[in-house]
């Protein structure tokens, strides 16, 4: 009886996680499209060249395609009869670059400098199509909570061994406002996103934490500079390492 109950709890947990990501990301897509349309209208009034305006139409088309892909992924995941989220080897840097490109497009008026640091050319983690959503949520939070003229984010990837199991370790080090030590754990909790004082920070992070757990990994946050929570944050993700996907 307990096993059956656990199965249904896992199914509910997975469905709620996917639903939350879908709503969150679709809202972001609509916001980007809306901003692009407003910019196009402004440029048209200023009689700007069509070539300059075409870039924004390309951005709108990109977001529509992204929305179609997101809907397809969510539909495929929700229609599966299995109660476990299907995982397969996913190339980390490919998903990371996609997330960086999307994030930079989302903040056209921000000066953003994102660097990837790694000794590896390719790394495969046991995940799925939603891995880029994980990266995007963390990057977006790092940008939203940053008061500097230039937002700097260093993404450091490596491989570590924990209890004879290899994990891909990805660190997102930003120069933002930082997170008080007393809040470092609660920002990943669902109850935090309902708090009036959270200002939205917990919305994406609680969903990210759920996905990482479904991957069999872990996520936490530390100070970018040890002992000083005001000098930026370091979000650390561990995801089980996978062998290179065969063609």
pLDDT in tens, 42-60: 776 666 666 666 766 776 7
Please tell me the pTM assigned to this model: 0.70
Q: Dihedrals φ, ψ of 226, to 5°?
A: -55, 130
Q: Cα(139)–Cα(235) distance, rounded to whole angstroms? A: 10
* CA distances for 199 relative to 106, 192, 193, angstroms: 19, 10, 8
Least confident among 13-22, 34-43, 55-64, 100-109: 13-22
Q: Is the pLDDT of residue 71 over 60?
A: yes
Q: How many residues does the chain have?
A: 247
Q: Per-residue b/e over 232-241, b at no fewer than 16 CB within 10 Å?
A: bbbbbbbbbb
Closest CA to 239 of 103, 115, 89: 89
Least confident among 95-99, 158-162, 191-195: 191-195
Q: What is the mean pLDDT of residues 26-39?
A: 72
- The more confidently predicted of residues 5 and 58 is 58
Percent of the chain with pLDDT over 90: 37
pLDDT digits (tens, 9 = 90+) for 164-199: 999 999 999 999 999 988 888 888 875 544 443 444
Q: Cα(53)–Cα(36) distance, rounded to whole angstroms? A: 10
Q: Cα(187)–Cα(185) distance, rounded to whole angstroms? A: 6
> Count of CB atoms within 10 A of residue 152's CB?
17
- The more confidently predicted of residues 36 and 164 is 164
- The more confidently predicted of residues 198 and 231 is 231
Q: Is the pLDDT of residue 73 over 50?
A: yes
Closest CA to 209 of 139, 154, 134, 140: 134
pLDDT band at 15 (very low <50, low <70, confident <90, very high): low
pLDDT for position 64 = 72
Indicate the average pLDDT of the chain: 78
pLDDT for position 195 = 45
Percent of the chain with pLDDT over 70: 66
pLDDT for position 211 = 83
User: Please, where are the H alpha helices in the chain?
Assistant: 2-45, 50-79, 92-106, 131-144, 190-193, 201-214
């Amino acid at each position: 009886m307990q096993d059956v109950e656990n199965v249904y709890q896992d199914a509910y947990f997975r469905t709620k996680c996917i639903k939350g990501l879908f709503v969150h990301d679709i809202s972001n897509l609509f916001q980007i499209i809306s901003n692009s349309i407003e910019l196009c209208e402004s440029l048209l009034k200023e009689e700007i060249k069509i070539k300059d305006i075409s870039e924004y139409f390309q951005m709108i088309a990109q977001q529509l395609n992204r929305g179609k892909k997101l809907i397809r992924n969510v539909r495929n995941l929700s229609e599966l009869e299995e109660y476990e989220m299907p995982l397969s080897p996913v190339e980390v840097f490919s998903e990371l670059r996609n997330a960086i490109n999307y994030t930079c497009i989302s903040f056209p008026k921000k000066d953003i400098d994102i660097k990837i640091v790694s000794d590896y050319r390719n790394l495969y983690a046991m995940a799925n199509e939603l891995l880029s959503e994980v990266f995007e949520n963390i990057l977006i939070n790092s940008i939203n909570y940053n008061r500097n003229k230039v937002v700097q984010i260093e993404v450091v990837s490596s491989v570590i061994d924990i209890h004879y199991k290899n994990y891909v370790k990805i660190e997102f080090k930003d120069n933002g406002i930082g997170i008080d030590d007393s809040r470092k754990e609660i920002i990943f909790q669902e109850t935090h996103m309902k708090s009036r004082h959270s200002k939205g920070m917990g919305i994406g992070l609680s969903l990210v934490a759920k996905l990482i757990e479904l991957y069999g990994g872990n996520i936490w946050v530390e100070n970018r500079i040890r002992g000083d929570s005001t000098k930026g944050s370091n979000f650390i993700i561990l995801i089980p390492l996978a062998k290179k996907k065969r063609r």
